[in-house]
Structure 1
Amino acid sequence: MDIHMSGTEHIPTSGGALIAVNHVSYVDYVMGGLPGVERGRYTRFMAKKEIFDHGVGGPLMRSFGHLEVDRESGAASMLTAVKALREGELVGIFPEATISQSFLIKELKSGAVRIAADAGVPLIPVVVWGTQRILAKGRKLDLSRHQRIDIEVGEPMHPSGDDPAAETVALRTRMQEMLERCILAAPASERPEGAWWLPQQYGGSAPTIEEAAAAYAEERRRRAQARAAKRRT
């Protein structure tokens, strides 16, 4: 892979910090942790309970010390993250909560700014781009050589928690600006017209944010139906 990384100086060499990473691929846990590695740090990512329940994924996530998030017990999950941060660890969070199939920055959950504020640590935005070409939702694994990956680390933010909604909007705006820089940093040959991994506004054919949201809502509806049917049997 051809990895281009900038802004790693914003990752502190000691002390707690919350790393907010966009989510376009199943390998973002790996790439989102590289800035920390560059600074001699390890990032423990928050991940949904379903991954930990998986027969293969669960043991792997536990072996790396990642943090389980139970959406039905959000407060307890936040406390676990706050504790790790107060103990001086780097914690990673995907504030979009799910993979963005539009490859743009979705609406963010407010958990990132609230956790950082509660722990009294900086919130550091990180944007990864190109990982969707390796393993995107609904796509096969592609380990072709020389695929370009861009990772930008932004300046730390210091949420107060007084207005989580406004601070979350500010985080999303920052991440949107970073994402655009990453997309446009690649040469034109890496952005072919109609490419499935490119958002439409950059000449690609990925779903719009609205189309992706509708598809995700339908997927959740089908899953809920399947769970209900299973309970009835």
Structure 2
Amino acid sequence: MRYRIAGGQFRVPADLPEVDNHPVESGERFYNGFVIRVLKAVLRAQGIAVTVVGAEHLPATGGALLAMNHTGYYDFIFGEIPGHVRGRRLVRFMAKKEVFDTPVVGAIMKSMDHASVDRDKGASSVEEAIRRLRDGQIVGIFPEATISRSFELKEFKTGAARIAAGAGVPLIPMVTWGSQRIWTKGRKKHLGRSNVPVFIHVGAPVDTSGTPEEATARLKSVMSELLADARAAYDAEYGPFEDGLY
């Protein structure tokens, strides 16, 4: 596959279509003008080389629910990248209410317009996500709800399928491979110049028809295939790696 650089530092397929910057999101001073620049600088400083395949599946305008696997604490950063190379779009993550309650981090999250999730009020959180999607935002969600220590896909919650169907927006599957080598649960951090490569694969929208359980099963199946493809491509370019290595 032939590649080119998009967003100043991310490797994408050479045939990724060019799109105009999002008319509103690209101009957000704090999130796009400051936070995204800082995060890109952090990745450059650490020598983290990111390859993104399939970013064309994200809509250049309008709402979409981005369902991601979860293997490390940097996944929130990597979840921003497909949108960034797709017209500097922004992802609003659904995060626990407790995060918003902390003084500094909470203020930053609110300034970035992320969505607070109160687990004691699940219905209101779903309604908030649907409202945002209908307003044209991209909302990011981790169907596994927590980091997978095995780095395989854990059991999925049905929230992603229910929210996407309720809002009438595309349910976009995305997987990241390599994030676990930087910082994950129960392992040593590698926050210096680690030069870790990371692959991100984005898939076509998943059918949300039928019951939430049926749609969730389709989502997990597609994400399993994407993860297998990402791992195989990663191993082919940077491996081979022995079995059992995290």
Aligned residue in 2 for 1:79? 127
Query: 1:85, 1:204 → 2: CA distance?
Result: 39
Q: Residue 190 of structure 2 aligns with which residue?
A: 142
Distance 1:24 1:55, change over 3 A: farther
Residue correspondence of structure 1 range 1-233 to structure 2 within 5 A: 1-40=48-87, 41-143=89-191, 144-160=193-209, 162-187=210-235, 190=239, 192-193=241-242, 203-205=243-245
**Whole-Å Cα distance in 2 between the matches of residues 147 and 105 of structure 1?**
21
Give how far 1:33 is off. 1.4
AA paired with 2:197? R
Contact kept, 8 Å, 1:117 with 1:158, in 2: the verdict is no
TM-score (norm 1): 0.79
Unpaired stretches in structure 1, ≥5 consecutive residues:
194-202, 207-233
Q: Secondary structure at the match of 1:19?
A: strand
| Cα distance in 2 for residues equivalent to 1:64 and 1:110 | 26
Letter in 2 for 1:76: S
Separation in 2 of the partners of 1:205 and 1:130? 12
How far does residue 50 in structure 1 lie from its aligned partner after superposition? 2.7
- Asked if the contact 1:116–1:123 (Cα under 8 Å) also holds between the matched residues in 2, the reply is yes
1:42-79 CA-to-partner distances (Å, cap 9, x unmatched) read 11011122322334432332232211111111110001
Higher share in helix: 1
Mapped partners of 1:171, 1:133: distance in 2 = 25
Measure how far apart 1:139 and its partner are: 2.8
What is the deviation of 1:84? 0.4
> Structure 1 residues 191 and 48 mapped into 2: Cα distance closer, same or farther (>3 Å)?
farther
Instruction: Give me the identity figure in percent.
Output: 49
Q: Specify every segment of 5 or more residues in structure 2 that has no aligned partner in the other structure, as ranges.
A: 1-47
Aligned-pair CA distance for 1:191: 5.1
CA deviation profile, 1:80-128 (whole Å, cap 9, x unmatched): 1000000011111111111111101111000000000000001000001
Q: Is the 8 A contact 2:207 2:218 kept in 1?
A: no
Shift of 1:183: 1.1
SS of 1:52's equivalent in the other structure is helix
**Matched positions, count:** 196
In 1, the alpha carbon distance for the partners of 2:100 and 2:174 equals 24
Give the corresponding residue for 1:212: none
Please tell me whether the aligned partners of residues 207 and 215 of structure 2 are also in contact (alpha carbons under 8 angstroms). no
Q: CA RMSD in A?
A: 1.6
User: Structure 2 vs 1, CA of residues 140 and 49 (structure 1 numbering), >3 Å: closer, same or farther?
Assistant: farther
Q: Does the CA-based 8 Å contact 1:48-1:70 persist in structure 2? A: yes
The residue that corresponds to 1:199 in the other structure is: none
